[in-house]
Structure 1
Amino acid sequence: MAFEYLKSLAGGMDKNEILSELMLTYGEDVWNYAFFLTRQPMTADDITQDVFMKVYERLYSFRGEASIKTWLLTITRNTVRDQWRSAWFRRVVPFGMLKRDETVASAESQALSALVEEDVWKLVLELPTKLREVLLLHAHHQLSYVEIAELLGISVGTMKSRLSRARAKISQQLETEGRDTL
Structure 2
Amino acid sequence: MDNGTLREIMEQYWSEIWNYAYFLTKDREMARDIAQDAFIKSYYKIATYRGQASFKSWLLAIARNTAFRYKRSAFWRRVTLMPRPPAEERTVESAEAAYWSRQETDELWRIVMDLPDKYREVLTLDILYDLPVKELAALLRIPAGTVKSRLSRARRIVEDKRKEEQE
**Fold match by TM threshold 0.5:** yes
SS at match of 2:145: helix
Instruction: Provide the aligned length of Structure 1 versus Structure 2.
Output: 155
Aligned AA (2:19): N
Separation (CA, whole Å) in 1 of partners of 2:41 and 2:105: 34
What is the correspondence of 1:127-166 to structure 2 with a 5 Å cutoff?
127-166=115-154
Deviation at 1:164, TM superposition (A): 0.3
Stretches of structure 1 lacking an aligned partner (at least 5 in a row): 1-13, 106-112
Identity of aligned residues (%): 42
User: 2: distance between equivalents of 1:84 and 1:103?
Assistant: 25
Q: Which residue of 1 aligns with 2:28?
A: 41
Aligned residue for 2:85?
100
Which residue of structure 2 lines up, in the alignment, with residue 30 of structure 1? Answer: 17
Structure 1 Cα separation of the partners of residues 88 and 56 of structure 2: 31
Distance across 1 between alignment mates of 2:157 and 2:116: 10
Letter in 2 for 1:55: S
Q: Deviations over 1:61-116 (max 9, x none)?
A: 211111011000000000011111112222x22xx2135112436xxxxxxx89x8
For 2:47 and 2:9, locate their aligned partners in 1 and report how far apart those are by CA, in whole Å: 14
TM-score by length of 2: 0.87
Cα deviation 1:32-79 (Å, max 9, x = unaligned): 000000101011111111111101111222111110110000000000
Quote the Cα distance in structure 2 between the aligned partners of 1:49 and 1:38. 15
Question: RMSD across aligned C-alpha pairs, in angstroms?
Answer: 1.8
Where do residues 67-86 of structure 1 align in structure 2 (5 Å cutoff)? 67-86=54-73
Which structure's relative contact order is higher, taking Cα pairs within 8 Å and 6+ residues apart?
Answer: 2
Q: Where has structure 1 moved over 3 Å in runs of 4 or more?
A: none
User: What is the letter of the counterpart of residue 101 of structure 1?
Assistant: P
The CA distance in 2 between the partners of 1:63 and 1:100, in whole Å, is 37
TM-score of the aligned structures, taking structure 1 as reference length:
0.80
* Separation in 1, partners of 2:116, 2:46: 33
